[in-house]
Chain A
Amino acid sequence: MVIAALICFAALLVAWMFAPDEGSAFEGTATVFEPELAPAT
């Protein structure tokens, strides 16, 4: 059971390594999401 649990987590780690990474190709719509600064005080 312990080995099975460890293997399950290892599978998740592998999945994270190969999961899509949208940020690396992002060229998006920065103007829509410009920061809006809150008042300082």
Chain B
Amino acid sequence: MPEINAGDTAWVLTSTALVMLMTPGLALFYGGLVRRKNVLSTIMHSFFILGLVSVTWVLWGYTLAFGPDTGMGLIGGFDWLALEGVTGEPSDVYATTVPHLAFMAFQMMFAIITPALITGAFAERKRFKAFVLFAVAWSTLVYAPIAHWVWSPDGWLFNLGVLDFAGGTVVHLSSGVAALVAALFIGRRTGLIEAATEPHDVPMTVLGAGLLWFGWFGFNAGSALGANGLAATAFVTTNTAAAMAAITWVTISWLHKGTPSVLGAAIGAVAGLVAITPAAGYVTPAAAILIGLGVGVVCYGAAQLRLRARVDDALDVFAVHGVGGAFGAVATGVFATVAVNAGGVNGLLAGNGGQVLTQLLAVGAVGAYSAVVTAGILFVINLVVAIRVPAPAEEAGLDLAQHGEIAYQP
């Protein structure tokens, strides 16, 4: 019978709270990037998901993602519906030194922030009612199965040896691809001359990025699921990659556009955090510097390409989370070493080139599944509730048109 370790339990519960704070942080990050007439609606997307997915995760999300497998490594069964059987005693399978409920709550916070990430793609034009239905469907039909594939010991990608320490594929790639599909489905915002607008409040965005960075220590170091050396490794690699990506993004934008952008520092840090997520517990701090550098370059380029393509992924969710998540997943296959984590495997630089192919398979499978199912969900919801608000509402702003409130008095 597994026994509870007090230190591990304290760290996992603390990390759960840290990850919870990321979703309000994301709300501020996104809220600052939109126009002032849409700041409340953008914040509301993240904040409402915090409530919505908390409930659906307890009712059916956790059992679908982490419950005993239904037989093919694709999804869990209903054994733990409404957390029946999930108690204060440790699980036999997951995080065996902490209460099962603590592990469940930690994973809940991941399930919450993942659909919240997507909301940046359809900001300023999505009908709230359609958004609610989308969030329920997406977290059930896309997030839960992918989490099962990668993190359940019965999951098919887990059993192929895919490395994803804290959710590079499960969280970031899946949401980034879904964001691109959503942006294409819903179409560009009305009246935009370019495929971007100036953010209405850069300090709000920087504050949000700071909260995300802070919370990410729980996201990655908490994924060690214990108060131990692995958590310390993940903590350091996380901070290192974020720092390197931030200064890389600023440098590139400085050379490209002539000024060291504050917004670039914030977005660059987030890109670094995304890329180190799958690798945090498998790579050295030196590798984290290279990952931060690489993702800064790659995601900056992706954001520029997105602008040229005139795809209105309003807040660059695909460029940062989709591309950054895929980059991080592949980089994990390059830099992973058992010298850091004896429970992992070696990557390309440690003589195991096959791990890169395994990581690429995961990127392809998760990306394709997310794209197809997201498109299906959007298509069906659009038959029931028009996803896009009418033009007058979009022109007036969703704060007033959808929520009857405004953020700032004129």
List residues of A whose CB falls within 8 A of some B CB: 1-2, 5-6, 9, 13, 16-17, 19, 21-24, 26-30, 32-41
Within 8 A of A (CB), among B184-201: 197-201
Partner of A30, one of B127, B129, B392: B392
**Known contacts A30-B395, A35-B200, A23 near B36 by CB under 8 Å:** no
**Quick check: A22 and B129 within 8 Å, CB to CB?**
no
Q: Which chain B residues border A5 with CB–CB below 8 Å?
A: 59, 82
- Write the residues of chain B forming the contact surface with A, with a CB cutoff of 8 angstroms: 35-37, 55-56, 59, 81-82, 84, 127-129, 132-133, 136, 197-202, 259, 261, 384-386, 389-390, 392-393, 395-402, 404, 406, 410
A6 touches B396 (CB 8 A): no
Complexed CA–CA distance, A20 and B154 (Å): 44
A residues less than 8 Å from B406 (CB atoms): 33
Contact for A9 among B55, B133, B261, B410, CB less than 8 A: B55
Give bound CA distance, A16 to B399, whole Å. 18
Q: Supply 7 further A-B pairs (C-beta < 8 A) apart from A23-B389, A32-B410.
A: A6-B82, A17-B129, A19-B129, A23-B390, A23-B401, A24-B393, A40-B198
Q: Which residues of B contact A39 (CB under 8 A)?
A: 198
User: What is the bound-complex CA distance between A39 and B202, given in angstroms?
Assistant: 10
Nearest B residue to A29 via CB reads B396
* CB <8 Å contact, A2 and B199: no
Q: Using Cβ atoms and an 8 Å threshold, which residues of chain B touch A33? A: 36-37, 396-397, 399-400, 406, 410
Q: How distant is A20 from chain B, measured CB to nearest CB, in Å?
A: 9
Whether A23 contacts B402 in the complex (CB less than 8 A), given A9-B56, A13-B136, A30-B395, comes out as yes
Known: A33-B37, A35-B36, A41-B261. A28 touches B390 (CB 8 A): no
Instruction: Establish whether residues A26 and B56, one from each chain, have CB atoms under 8 Å apart when the complex forms.
Output: no
Bound Cα distance A28, B198 (Å)? 24
For the complex, give the distance between the alpha carbons of A9 and B199 in Å. 36
18 pairs, CB–CB < 8 Å, chain A vs chain B: A1-B82, A2-B81, A2-B84, A5-B82, A6-B82, A16-B132, A21-B385, A23-B389, A23-B393, A23-B402, A24-B127, A24-B386, A26-B393, A30-B392, A35-B197, A37-B35, A38-B199, A38-B200
B37 touches A22 (CB 8 A): no
Expressed in whole angstroms, the Cα–Cα distance for A8 and B132 within the complex equals 16
Report whether A24 and B35 are in contact in the complex, using a CB–CB cutoff of 8 Å: no
**In the complex, what distance in Å separates the CA atom of A39 from the CA atom of B199?**
9
> Roughly how many angstroms separate A28 CA and B331 CA in the complex, as a whole number?
50
User: Which residues from chain B contact A27 at a C-beta distance below 8 Å?
Assistant: 392
